[in-house]
Amino acid sequence: MDQDAQKLTSALADPTRFSIYQFVAYSKEPITVQDVADHFAIHPNVARLHLTKLEDVNLLTAVSDKSGKGGRPSRLYSLSEQVVSLQFPPRDYQLLADIAIESLLSLGEAGEAALIHMGHRIGTEMAKRAIVQSGLNLQTATLEEKLHLIHRLVVAQGLRPDIEKLEDGKLRFRVNNCTFSDTAKKYPSAVCQMHNALLMGIFETYLGNIELREDDSMIRGCKSCNYTVIQF
């Protein structure tokens, strides 16, 4: 591994910093230190250190906010034009995932059922670990607190999510990037069901008994996968 790769690996080895990098990368607008501090519930000074580290290795670029507002000018962070391909650790997990999915689907209906069950279990376990790490008390947490952590968890999976509360108490959930897109092209029905089950596991863990209704899908030509979440 050359020196530049070592610097990049070191910068993204910290889980929080890697999540911050993803947060900035998937944002439609430049991000401030306060944006990061609020999203990850960390002190602004800690957020600034992480952002500076990412800027130092050219993963992010920053400019001063020239909005003309008074006080100390903010730094606006966005994704650098530098294209980087990184794997942690250096293995092709996408290839492994494809092989695992194809192996299960070769077993027919039983394999497809196992794949969907696996997706639900993965989503549930990810959500449980995130709850423990955050210290969230599900019994006393507000809906806003739960949705904040759901959003944070799904961002970490590279899905570029949007969550919106609707007036009728339902939720609109949108995924703007599919990490299974290549595999889904080969096995659209099974892979989409598995991915939906993963999301179902996440939402159920935080919100209890729900229905996750798929309204639109990227595999059917839409720009995003759109869901309605109905709480019971």
**For residue 183, what pLDDT is reported?**
77
On whether both 110 and 206 belong to a single domain, the answer is yes
| pLDDT level of residue 96 (50, 70, 90 thresholds) | low
Q: What is the DSSP string of 29-59?
A: S-B-HHHHHHHHT--HHHHHHHHHHHHHTTS
On whether both 209 and 95 belong to a single domain, the answer is yes
Q: Give pLDDT tens digits for 136-158.
A: 899 999 999 999 889 888 887 77
For the sheet containing 225-231, what is the strand order? 161-165, 171-175, 225-231, 210-216
Nearest 10 degrees: CA dihedral of 173, 179, 184, 189?
Answer: -30
Q: For the purposes of burial, counting CB atoms within 10 Å of the CB of 78, is it exposed (0-12), middle (13-18) or buried (19 or more)?
A: middle
Percentage of residues in the chain with pLDDT exceeding 70?
85
Domain count, the chain: 2
Which domain range does residue 26 map to?
A: 1-90
On whether both 141 and 209 belong to a single domain, the answer is yes
